[in-house]
Each structure stands twice: as C-alpha cells, then as structure tokens.
C-alpha cells in the first residue's frame, strides 16, 4: 500500500481528493490537512510515502520552494508531489529543482491523473502532467539570482516584511537584509519593488498575475472536480439521489464564490 498525505487549504478540494483516491486499492490516505503549520508534526508522527502538496496557503507563513527543500532534507524517503492550479514555468522549474518528485496542474483533469502520478513518484519516477511538462520546457534554466534569493524575492512580491520573511525561512533579519542587498546589486536596482519587477521581467519570478490566476482557478477546479464526482455516481447508479444534494449545493456555493471574485476585479 502507498501511504498518502494531502495538504491543501481548500476543504472541497480535499474532499474530492479523498473520494477519488479512496477508490484506489493500492493506496491509503494517512491524513489530510489545510494548515501547513501542522504539516511538520503530522509528517513526523505519521510519515507518508507520498505527500501531495498545494502551493498557495492564504494567510499562512509558507514559501513552497523552501518548504520542499526542507522536507526533502528531513524526510528523504518521502516523495513530494505538487498539485496546484499554478502552471507558471518558474514554479515548475523551482519546485523540481528543490526536490519535488512530480508536478500536476489541476486544470489537467487532476482527479483522473492523480493516482497515476502518486504511483509514479512512489516508484521514484518523475511525473509531470501535460501543462507542467509544457511549462518546464519553456522555463528559464540559467538564473541571475540564487534559489535562496528567489525565495526571498517571492515573499517580497507578496508584500511581506523582512522580519516575517526571516520567520518564514528560518533565517535572521540581518541575513535577509544581506540577501536583499545582493539582489539589488545583481539586478542593478535600489528598491524592493524595482527588484521584483526586474526579476519578473527576467522570468526568475512568476508572472505578476500568477496569484490572481490561481485564486480564480481554485473554485473552477473545485467545480470540475464535483462535476466528475457526480458524473461517476450517475454512471454507477443510473441516477442521482438525495445523498448528492450536498455536492449540488457545493456547486452553487463555488459558482457564487467564483462570480464574486470576478466581480471584485472590476
């Protein structure tokens, strides 16, 4: 049995994943969580063979590349599979370099590909969904900034202060200041905003609208996942029944959430 753990801050996505993987006879879900703060303790207590990890956790101290690198150092036998709505080439390249064993983009029919991806990375074989493979092929392989510098600058791009960056990465405040000074020198800029723009232009940071794209895609992928669940139930039973009412209600809620997010962009 392949022991699997799931980390995603969207409860509905976790529900879809549990349902889809629950049908697989060669794997079991040890636990799932929406809070990255619990992740280390859970892994230490019940280490999985494969950790399925999302990239974005709103309001949480989390930097994906740093987290993947740290987890790989602590748990070298655990394979990390990225499952995300984010298809930016920078992320695909960064996470694979950091030690992720695979990368699945949720728009690539993730509910249909996830079990195959888990089996592959559990065997030590890298797995990329089609969008991830395409993104990697177009990513930049030669960087001006180091991996640590790019991690810091990604947090700067989110508007996070130096002390909070230091806390997230487990570094001293002075170390962050030194790294930023080096970044300014390499990019020939003199401010945080200018450094972010320069790195984005060089394609060493994700596109400026990457986080917005991710936020919009999350409810969309939840809708697609629910639709596939209902489709599978319809195929098996020939009809939907009262037990499916909750999923139908979730479709309405997610559609309303997506509509509200689009409206907020006006």
53 contact partners, CB below 8 Å, separation of at least 6: 7, 64, 67, 68, 80, 81, 82, 83, 100
39-57: b or e for each residue (b if 16 or more CB lie within 10 Å)? beebbeeeebbbbbbbbbb
Q: What is the mean pLDDT of each run of 10 residues along the chain (266 residues)?
A: 92 82 92 87 94 77 87 95 88 93 84 87 95 86 87 90 91 94 95 93 78 62 73 78 76 72 62
The reply to whether 230 falls in a domain is: no
Q: Residues 11, 120: one domain?
A: yes
* pLDDT for the residue numbered 30: 95
- 49, 2 Cβ separation under 8 angstroms: yes
* CATH number (domain holding residue 174): 1.10.10.10
Q: Which residue in the block uniquely carries the two structure tokens 């900034």?
A: 145
127 and 159, same domain (yes or no): no
Count Cβ atoms within 10 A of the Cβ of residue 226 and give its class: 0-12 exposed, 13-18 middle, 19 or more buried: buried
pTM, two decimal places:
0.74
Q: What is the pLDDT of residue 27?
A: 95
83 and 119, same domain (yes or no)? yes
- The pLDDT score that the predictor gives to residue 209 is 61
Same domain membership, residue 113 and residue 18: yes
Do 15 and 93 reside in the same domain of the chain? yes
Q: What pLDDT was estimated at residue 198?
A: 94
Cα angle: 228, vertex 83, 137; to 5 degrees? 110
171 in a domain, yes or no? Answer: yes
Q: Give domain status of residue 178, yes or no.
A: yes
Identify the pLDDT of residue 263: 64
């Amino acid at each position: 049995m392949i022991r699997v753990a799931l980390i995603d801050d969207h409860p509905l996505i976790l529900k879809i994943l549990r349902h889809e993987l629950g049908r697989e006879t060669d794997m079991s879900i040890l636990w799932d969580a929406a809070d990255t703060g619990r992740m280390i303790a859970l892994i230490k207590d019940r280490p999985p063979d494969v950790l399925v990890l999302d990239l974005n956790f709103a309001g949480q101290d989390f930097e994906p590349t740093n987290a993947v690198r740290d987890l790989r150092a602590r748990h070298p036998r655990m394979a990390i599979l990225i499952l995300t709505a984010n298809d930016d080439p920078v992320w695909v390249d960064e996470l694979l370099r950091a030690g992720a064993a695979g990368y699945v983009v949720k728009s690539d029919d993730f509910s249909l590909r996830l079990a195959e991806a888990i089996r592959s990375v559990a065997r030590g074989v890298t797995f990329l969904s089609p969008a991830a493979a395409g993104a990697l092929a177009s990513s930049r392989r030669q960087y001006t900034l180091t991996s640590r510098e790019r991690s810091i600058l990604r947090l700067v791009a989110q508007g996070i202060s130096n002390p909070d960056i230091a806390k997230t990465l487990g570094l001293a405040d002075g170390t962050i200041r030194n790294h930023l000074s080096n970044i300014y020198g390499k990019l020939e800029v003199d401010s945080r905003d200018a450094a972010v723009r320069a790195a984005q232009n060089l394609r060493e940071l994700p596109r400026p609208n990457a986080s917005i794209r991710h936020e919009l895609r999350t409810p969309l992928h939840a809708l697609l996942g629910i639709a596939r669940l209902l489709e599978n139930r319809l195929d098996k039973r020939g009809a939907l029944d009262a037990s499916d009412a909750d999923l139908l209600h979730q479709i309405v809620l997610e559609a309303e959430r997506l509509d509200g997010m689009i409206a907020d962009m006006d």
